[in-house]
């Protein structure tokens, strides 16, 4: 019986490092939200401040939203990095690292109180789309060439694009 570690490429450790780094980064953002709670006097269990109750509500809400958005994207990022890392660990880890650094700038920009500053460095989403693209390419590869077979793949492409011309 094969050892379960043999299922992972030896470079998969890079993916694990990026996952740990992103987790630590999320903890750092949580501490920033805690500091903002004290600074702007927004107490638990209030998730977002109301402008009618707090003159600094927008400033706090921007810090909170920057962290919340990162938390919302975390499950997708983890799933895509793990799945992509099974076949392309270095590329997945590299894109995950770029995404994490981009998330830092996203958070810092959002924390200024102007939501438009969150996208000063737009490579945050670009790297995420590359990670998603790797998964779609692999899915298509498995679906067409492993499940349908090469003859089936040829027939599928023939169906989509039509008969090749003799021109």
Report, at the CATH architecture level, how domain 4-161 is classified.
Up-down Bundle (1.20)
Give pLDDT, residue 117.
Answer: 82
For the full predicted model, state whether its pTM sits above 0.75.
Answer: no
Q: State how far the Cα of 56 lies from the Cα of 44, in Å rounded to an integer.
A: 16
Give pLDDT, residue 155.
Answer: 58
Q: State how far the Cα of 101 lies from the Cα of 46, in Å rounded to an integer.
A: 29
Buried b (16+ CB within 10 A) or exposed e, 119-146: eeeeebeebbebbeebbeeeeeeeebee
Choose between 158 and 113: higher pLDDT.
113
Give pLDDT, residue 56.
Answer: 93
pLDDT of 31-80, one tens digit each?
A: 999 999 999 999 999 899 999 899 999 999 999 999 999 999 899 889 88
pLDDT of 107-151, one tens digit each?
A: 999 999 988 887 776 555 566 666 666 666 665 665 555 555 555
| 33 neighbors 66 (Cβ within 8 angstroms) | no
Name the residue ranges covered by the structural domains of the chain. 4-161
- What is the 8-class DSSP label of residue 144? I
């Amino acid at each position: 019986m094969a050892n379960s570690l043999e299922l992972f490429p030896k470079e998969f450790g890079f993916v694990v490092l990026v996952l740990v780094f992103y987790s630590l980064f999320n903890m750092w953002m949580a501490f920033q939200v805690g500091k903002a709670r004290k600074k702007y006097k927004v107490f638990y269990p209030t998730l977002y401040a109301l402008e009618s109750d707090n003159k600094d509500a927008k400033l706090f809400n921007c810090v909170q939203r920057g962290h919340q958005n990162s938390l919302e994207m975390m499950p997708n990022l983890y799933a895509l990095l793990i799945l992509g890392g099974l076949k392309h660990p270095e590329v997945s880890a590299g894109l995950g690292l770029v995404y994490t650094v981009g998330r830092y700038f996203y958070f810092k920009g959002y924390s200024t109180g102007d939501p438009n500053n969150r996208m000063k460095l737009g490579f945050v989403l670009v790297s995420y789309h590359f990670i998603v693209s790797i998964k779609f390419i692999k899915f298509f590869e498995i679906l067409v060439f492993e499940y349908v077979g090469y003859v089936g793949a040829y027939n599928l492409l023939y169906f989509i694009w039509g008969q090749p011309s003799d021109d």
